[in-house]
């Protein structure tokens, strides 16, 4: 046995490029089965009840509470976000007290989720939580909330994650999420604690760093009580320490979480080592009035949205998945429409009702002409045939049989379409098809890109359905 455990050189795993959250494609997919999985995609906060199913004591006077939603739905969120929980601190019949806690679990394991709470003996809520929340406890929650989270897609996932004390909670969610996903990433974690025994999750962090070469984890003890056998870093955050753990911090996205003083220092130092302030994301675990007010506003906004959505669900369960509020960019997918990942070699596509090609009218026969454009039903109809082509500019309906070439029939009816080769080579007859299906036998006169943009060559095409043509 012992021999088996001795270290042998093992090659690096092979990975696709970049990180991509599992819900990313699902949210953009127009296909029905994929749509169902949209429930796993985080797009808005909701109010829900959740049942505690496990409590795990952690180092540093912290406790992890694992929950599942009472309605059985997964909790869809982004790594780094938080939930707002109503705790009946003063008994079930009194107004509960609201507190926000970062989620520490990974959204890639969405059927349960956890928060990790540090006990502050002088506080009102956290000691109560530690003492009273047990498996079986049911609490009312609102979430997910917050703009501090990993991007949905990142071609160059290079992160520096800074955490102090309980600030490790959202960072832990990020670490677990990335670890659970394949794809290239480069993650440096720098975790500050005040005493050697107080680093929550340190065993799991050590494990992840030992099996996943994408992670480097560093610990630093504040300037108090450094035991003799301490092998980590010493002292508060400094520019030199940042340079030491991440000499390329300059090219990384930095996520930092901890108390206000720590984050203020971090901001200064990060700028010093050349990190652009647009690459720095922060979550305050303590703060002045201003910071607290901002968080309150964030939760209030989330409450509004949650209510709006609840109403919509009540109105029509059918439209539930379509009815995403467009008003708040905060809850929109953070990826761009052109798609930047090469994970599958395919560009990401987001269903955009405005974009050509994703128009649902294409497969519904009663397509309505755009506002302001003429109505084809008022056009004259000429010719014979089983199908109708509406030429919107010319203002004429032309009947055609599925065996006839569109160009010939159209030209005979007086529609002006320039044409030269009549063999699908020169492209001179190219027109835009607003709806319907054609069969085209071209010979290089048109590009795949143009076809997907709705163009076709009428000289070498036949009609398969009624057509609406921009000519």
Partner 1 sequence: MTASVNVPLNSRGKLAASLPAEQLAEITALFEFRRTGYSLDAPFYTDRSIFNIDMEAIFGQHWIFAASTAELPEPGDYVTVDYGPYSLIVLRNDDGGVNVLHNVCRHRGARVLTEAAGSTGNLVCGYHSWTYSPEGNLIHASAPGETKFDKSCFGLKRAHGREVAGLIFVCLADEPPADFDETAKIFEPYLAPHDLSKTKVAYQQNIIEEGNWKLVMENNRECYHCDGHPELACSLFPTWGLTEGLIPAHLEEVWDRNKQAEASLEERCRRYGLPYEVVEQLDTRIAGIRISREPLDGEGESFSADGRRLSKKLLGDLPDFRLGRCSMHLQPNSWFHFLGDHVITFGVFPINEHQSLVRTTWLVADDAVEGVDYDLEKLTYTWKQTNLQDKAFVELCQQGAGSPAYEPGPYMKSEYQVEAFINWYVQRVQEHLA
Compute the least distance from the CB of residue 251 to partner 1, in Å. 4
Q: From the CB of 420, what's the least distance to partner 1, in Å?
A: 5
- CA dihedral over 431, 437, 442, 448, signed as positive or negative: positive
Does residue 32 belong to the site contacting partner 1 (CB under 8 A)? no
- Verify binding: residue 340, partner 1, rule CB under 8 A: yes
Q: Does 429 bind ligand FES (CB under 6 A)?
A: yes
**Which residue of 301, 428, 432, 470 would you call a contact of ligand FES, by CB under 6 A?**
428
* 153-172 footprint of partner 1 as x/- string (CB under 8 A): --xx-x--------------
> Using CA atoms in the order 102, 108, 114, 120, what is the torsion angle rounded to 10 degrees?
-30
Show the CA angle centred on residue 113, arms to residues 111 and 116, nearest 5°.
170
Q: Which of 421, 432, 454, 465 binds partner 1 (CB under 8 A)?
A: 421
d(CA 252, CA 386): 62
Select from 15-23, 29-37, 121-129, 415-423 the region that touches ligand FES (CB under 6 A). 415-423
List alpha helices for 251-402, DSSP H: 260-272, 289-315
Closer to ligand FES at the Cβ: 50 or 457? Answer: 457
Sign of the alpha-carbon dihedral angle for 142, 147, 153, 157: negative
443 binds partner 1, rule: CB under 8 A = yes
Of the ranges 47-55, 267-275, 315-323, 413-421, which one interacts with ligand FES (CB under 6 A)? 413-421
454: contact with partner 1 by CB under 8 A: no
Report the residue number, 276 or 439, with the smaller CB distance to ligand FES.
439
Nearest approach, Cβ of residue 249 and partner 1 (Å): 9
Cβ atoms of residues 325 and 4 within 8 Å = no
Backbone torsions φ then ψ of 211, nearest 5 degrees: -105, -15
Strand partners, 160: 188, 254
Applying CB under 8 A, which part among 175-183, 302-310, 350-358, 446-454 lies near partner 1?
446-454
Nearest CB to ligand FES, comparing residues 45 and 424: 424
Q: Considering only residues 439-458, where is the footprint of ligand FES by CB under 6 A?
A: 445, 457
Give the CB-nearest residue to ligand FES: 459
DSSP state string for 434-470: EES-EEE--SSSS-HHHHHTTEE-GGGEEESS-EEEE
Q: Quick check: 428 binds partner 1 (CB under 8 A)?
A: yes
Pairing of strands 158-164, 113-118: unpaired
Out of 55, 423, 454, 470, the residue judged to bind partner 1 by CB under 8 A: 423
- The yes or no reply on residue 425 touching ligand FES (CB under 6 A) is yes
Q: Are 388 and 399 in contact (CB under 8 A)?
A: yes
Of the ranges 5-13, 37-45, 260-268, 332-340, which one interacts with partner 1 (CB under 8 A)?
Answer: 332-340
**Binds 459, which of partner 1, ligand FES, none (CB < 5 to 8 A, cut-off by type)?**
ligand FES
73 binds ligand FES (CB under 6 A): no
* Burial call 444-460: b when 16+ CB within 10 Å, e when fewer: ebbeeeeeeebbbbbbb
- Cβ partners under 8 Å of residue 212, min gap 6: 179
296 vs 420, beta carbon nearer partner 1: 420
Please report whether residue 420 would count as binding ligand FES according to CB under 6 A: yes
Cβ atoms of 390 and 374 within 8 Å: the answer is: no
Single out the residue of 120, 268, 276, 439 in contact with partner 1 (rule: CB under 8 A): 276
421 binds ligand FES (CB under 6 A): yes
Q: Which element (helix H / strand E) includes 288? A: none
Q: Is 419 in the site for ligand FES (CB under 6 A)?
A: yes
Strands 138-145 and 82-87: antiparallel
Question: What are the residues whose beta carbons fall under 8 Å from the beta carbon of 345, sequence distance 6 or more?
Answer: none
The per-residue b/e assignment along 401-437, b for 16 or more CB within 10 angstroms, e otherwise, is: eeebbbbebbbebebebebeebebbbbebbbebbbbe
Distance between CA atoms of residues 314 and 264, nearest Å: 44
Query: What backbone torsions phi and psi does residue 200 show, to the nearest 5 degrees?
Result: -65, 150
Print the binding letters for residues 287-326 with partner 1: x by CB under 8 A, - otherwise: ----------------------------------------
Closest distance of CB 29 from ligand FES, Å:
34
Strand duo 186-193 + 158-164: pairing: parallel
Give the binding site for partner 1 (CB under 8 A). 155-156, 158, 186, 247-248, 250-251, 274, 276, 278-279, 336, 338, 340, 420-421, 423, 425-428, 443-450
Give the binding site for ligand FES (CB under 6 A). 419-422, 424-429, 445, 457, 459
């Amino acid at each position: 046995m012992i021999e088996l455990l001795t270290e042998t050189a093992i090659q690096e795993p092979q990975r696709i490029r970049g990180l991509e959250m599992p819900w990313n494609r699902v949210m953009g997919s127009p296909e029905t089965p994929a749509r169902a999985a949209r429930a796993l995609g985080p797009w808005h906060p909701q109010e829900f009840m959740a049942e505690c199913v496990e409590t795990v004591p952690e180092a540093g006077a912290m406790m992890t509470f694992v929950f599942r939603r009472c309605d059985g739905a997964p909790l869809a969120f982004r790594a780094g976000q938080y939930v707002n929980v109503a705790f009946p601190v003063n008994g079930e019949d009194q107004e509960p007290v609201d507190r926000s806690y970062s989620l520490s679990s990974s959204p890639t394991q969405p059927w349960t989720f956890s928060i990790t709470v540090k006990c502050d003996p002088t506080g009102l809520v956290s000691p109560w939580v530690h003492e009273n929340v047990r498996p079986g406890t049911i609490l009312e929650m609102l979430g997910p909330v917050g703009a501090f989270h990993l991007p949905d897609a990142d071609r160059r996932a290079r992160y520096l994650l800074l955490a102090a004390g309980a600030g490790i909670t959202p960072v832990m969610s990020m670490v677990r999420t990335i670890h659970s996903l394949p794809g290239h990433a480069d993650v440096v974690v720098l975790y500050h604690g005040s005493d050697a025994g107080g680093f929550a999750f340190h065993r799991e962090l050590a494990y992840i760093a030992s099996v996943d070469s994408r992670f480097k984890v560093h610990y630093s003890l504040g300037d108090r009580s450094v035991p003799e056998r301490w092998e980590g870093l010493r002292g508060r955050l400094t520019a030199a320490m940042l340079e030491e753990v991440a000499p390329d911090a300059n090219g990384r996205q930095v996520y930092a979480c901890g108390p206000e003083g720590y984050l203020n220092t971090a901001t200064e130092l990060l700028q010093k080592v050349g990190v652009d302030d647009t690459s720095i994301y922060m979550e305050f675990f303590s703060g002045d009035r201003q910071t607290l007010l901002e968080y309150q506003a964030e939760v209030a906004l989330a409450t509004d949205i949650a209510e709006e959505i609840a109403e919509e669900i009540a109105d029509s369960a059918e439209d539930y998945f379509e009815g995403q509020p467009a008003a708040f960019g905060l809850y929109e997918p953070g990826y761009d429409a052109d798609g930047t990942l090469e994970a599958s070699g395919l560009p990401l596509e987001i269903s955009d009702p405005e974009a050509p090609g994703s128009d649902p009218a294409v497969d519904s026969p009663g397509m309505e002409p755009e506002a302001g454009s003429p109505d084809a039903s008022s056009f004259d109809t000429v010719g014979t045939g089983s199908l109708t082509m509406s030429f919107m500019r010319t203002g004429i309906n032309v009947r055609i049989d599925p065996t006839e070439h569109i160009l010939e029939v159209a030209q005979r009816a007086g529609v002006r379409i320039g044409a030269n080769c009549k063999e699908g080579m020169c492209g001179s007859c190219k027109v835009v098809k607003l709806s319907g299906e054609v069969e085209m036998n071209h010979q290089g006169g048109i590009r795949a890109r143009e076809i997907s943009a709705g163009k076709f060559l009428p000289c070498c095409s036949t009609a398969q359905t009624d057509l609406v043509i921009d000519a």
